[in-house]
Amino acid sequence: SGENASAETFARNLVVEWEKDTSNAIHGRTELAYALERNGKRQLSASLMNELHRDSDRMTARDRANVHYMDGLLAYERGKYDSALAGFDLGLRLAFGAPQYYRALALLKLNRVSEAIIELHRLAGYSLILNSPFDADFLPLSNRRPIFSVKAHYWLGVAFEGQGKKDEAIAEYRKFLDTWKAADFKSKELEDARARLALLTGTAAK
């Protein structure tokens, strides 16, 4: 899609810019690997990640955490949720405070619903404390946390609906839709939340 192509262009420019920083061993390559994967260029993405792992000896512990976390993200994109969770947890050894969106989704996909709900609740209510290890602001996609915090309500709705907790599901869908009520972009989550909410409230009214 155009969005994925734009993300790849942005990531390539990021690599060029970060290569000027000799203290940075990653140079934006994790972001580029993710953009390539989302753009259907899996072999190029895998090659880039192999390159990063080969360079890991000269990385800081924080840089290695970044690479491991990206391993988790790429595994998640490929539907390998056990591997995704392993990558997330390895990457999060230095990021022991902040909840993580894709870790929560991996737990949900693995039917570890109670754990996923805890992580999603934390994400929905998390505020940055300006402490890097806790905020995990050095990990891939950390700049998307405000978006992920909103989407957490959608996934909480899905989780509660799967448990048969209609009232809780309805409340979370409404929070999600109310937050993005003026959205001028297309979103699968928005469309699905509207459909699920209509079905649940229609069922509840009978």
What percentage of the chain has pLDDT greater than the value 70? 82
Burial class (CB in 10 A: 0-12, 13-18, 19+), 44: middle
pLDDT in tens, 122-175: 888 877 777 676 777 778 888 888 899 999 999 999 999 999 999 999 999 999
pLDDT the model gives residue 187: 85
Instruction: Please calculate the CA angle 65-68-71 and round it to the nearest 5 degrees.
Output: 150
**Could you tell me the pTM of the whole model?**
0.62
Q: What is the mean pLDDT of the chain?
A: 83
pLDDT in tens, 15-25: 566 555 556 67
